[in-house]
């Protein structure tokens, strides 16, 4: 297994994170993202396309890095991140999703922590996350805040009328992060 070596024992069976992208991950990611009930068909297609691009071009060629958490049932969760072009040490966290059957067990926090460690090892100093202002995303916003991300900006009506975009940021290695 290539990946962080983190063992996750709170799922139905212990699993580890892997970073290698396999062809079958595209369909599994699309199904997982769809199962959350948070995303429109166009967004599900984008999640799938990012995996396909990383599979075809590799992480360095595509700019998309992944960590996958598998258990005996299938894909339990994943995170996708990458460096922001034109910056010296900033990264975007593009996607993080945990299957609804495996939520509220710490997998999302473990995936996010492993991604942060990987980003730091790649020289990253700042991580940016974008999410919706929709009430559906209230728990998502609370999760990011609980993980040390700070609300940085809001773009009203970005996704649709009444549905803005929030930007969160975390500075790696800062005193804020160590609290």
In what helix (H) or strand (E) does residue 62 lie, and over which residues does it extend?
A: helix 41-62
State residue 131's pLDDT score.
96
Helix (H, G, I), strand (E, B) or coil at 44: helix
178, pLDDT greater than 50:
no
CA distances from 116 to 32, 38, 109, 120 (A): 22, 23, 10, 6
- Residues in CB range of 146: below 8 A, 6 or more apart: none
Dump pLDDT digits (tens) for 48-105. 999 999 999 987 889 999 999 998 889 999 999 999 999 999 999 999 999 999 888 8
Whole-angstrom distance, CA of residue 167 vs CA of residue 151:
6
pLDDT digits (tens, 9 = 90+) for 5-50: 444 444 444 457 999 999 999 999 999 999 999 999 999 999 999 9
In the prediction, which pLDDT does 4 show?
42
DSSP H or E stretch at residue 154: strand 150-160
Query: For residues 9 and 16, is the Cβ–Cβ distance under 8 A?
Result: no
DSSP β-bridge partners for residue 150: 169
pLDDT number for residue 110: 94
Phi, psi of 81 (to 5 degrees): -150, 165
How large is the angle between the packed helices 25-36 and 41-62, nearest 10 degrees?
140
Per-residue pLDDT at 73: 85
Tens of pLDDT along 136-151? 999 999 999 999 999 9
Q: What is the pLDDT, as a whole number, of residue 71?
A: 86
The alpha-carbon radius of gyration of the chain (Å, integer) is 16
For 92, residues 6+ apart whose C-beta sits below 8 A from its C-beta are 81, 82, 83, 84, 127, 128, 129, 130
The number of residues in the chain equals 179
């Amino acid at each position: 297994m290539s990946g962080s070596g983190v063992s996750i024992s709170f799922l139905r069976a212990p699993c580890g994170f892997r970073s290698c992208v396999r062809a079958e991950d595209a369909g599994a990611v699309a199904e997982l993202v769809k199962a959350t009930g948070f995303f429109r068909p166009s967004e599900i297609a984008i999640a799938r396309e990012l995996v396909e691009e990383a599979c075809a071009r590799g992480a360095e060629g595509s700019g998309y890095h992944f960590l996958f958490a598998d258990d005996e049932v299938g894909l339990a969760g994943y995170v996708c991140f990458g460096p922001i072009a034109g910056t010296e040490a900033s990264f975007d966290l593009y996607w993080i999703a945990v299957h609804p059957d495996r939520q509220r067990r710490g997998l999302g926090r473990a995936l996010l922590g492993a991604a942060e460690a990987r980003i730091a090892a790649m020289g990253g100093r700042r991580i940016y996350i974008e999410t919706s202002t929709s009430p559906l995303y209230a728990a998502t916003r609370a999760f990011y805040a609980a993980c040390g991300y700070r609300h940085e900006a809001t773009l009203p009506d970005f996704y649709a009328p009444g549905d803005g975009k929030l930007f969160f940021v975390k500075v790696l290695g800062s005193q804020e992060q160590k609290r």
